[in-house]
A and B are shown apart, each in its own frame.
Chain A
Amino acid sequence: MSKYSTGKMVLLAAAALAFELTLAEAWSIGGARAEALLSLACFAALFARDSGQGLMASWIIGLLKDFGSAGPLGLHALLFLGAGWVVLQIRQILFRESPLTQLGVAFVAACWVNLAAAIVVSISVGGIPFGVILGKTLLSALFTAVLTVPLHLTLMHVRFLVR
Chain B
Amino acid sequence: MGPKRRRSSPWPLLAVSAVLLLTPSSIAQKTRLTALAGFIPLESLGSWAARIPSSGESNALATENAYLKDQVDKLSRENKRKDLLLEQALGMKQPVRDHNFRMIAADVIFPTDSSPWRKSLTLAMGTRDGVEKGMLVLYNNQVVGRVSETAPKTSRVQTVTDPGFRAAAVAVPRTYVAGVSFSERQPGVYEGTSGQNGQLKWLGGDAAVENGSFVVTTEDPVNGVPRGLVLGRVVSVNHGRGAFPKVEVESILNLRGIEHVMLLVPPMEVRSSGTPSGGR
Contacts and interface: CB of A to CB of B under 8 A. Distances in A.
Interface residues of B, number: 50
A20 B28 contact: no
Contacts, number: 155
A132 to B, nearest CB: 4
Contacts of A77: 13, 16-17, 20
Contacts of A140: 116
B156 interface: yes
A12 interface: no
B20 A128 contact: no
A120 to B, nearest CB: 8
Which has the most chain B C-beta neighbours within 10 Å: A31, A50, A52, A127?
A31
B257 to A, nearest CB: 9
B163 A52 contact: no
Contacts of B28: 72-74
A72 B24 CA distance: 9
Chain A contact residues: helix, strand, loop or mixed: helix
Given A59-B13, A122-B163, A69 B115 contact: yes
Q: Among B20, B28, B194, find the residue whose CB has the most chain A CB atoms closer than 10 A.
A: B194
Contacts of B115: 65, 68-71, 76, 117, 121
A26 interface: yes
B13 A26 contact: no
A86 to B, nearest CB: 10
Contacts of B156: 70
A52 B10 CA distance: 8
A37 B111 CA distance: 18
B8 A50 contact: yes
Interface of B: 5-8, 10, 13-14, 16-21, 23, 25, 28-29, 31-32, 35-36, 39, 42, 110-120, 122, 148-149, 156, 158, 162-164, 166, 191-196, 256
9 contacts: A21-B112, A52-B6, A67-B36, A71-B118, A72-B25, A73-B23, A74-B28, A128-B117, A128-B163
Given A69-B114, A126-B163, 18 more contacts: A18-B42, A22-B110, A22-B112, A30-B195, A31-B116, A50-B8, A70-B113, A73-B20, A73-B23, A74-B17, A74-B23, A81-B10, A114-B116, A121-B194, A122-B163, A126-B166, A128-B117, A132-B193
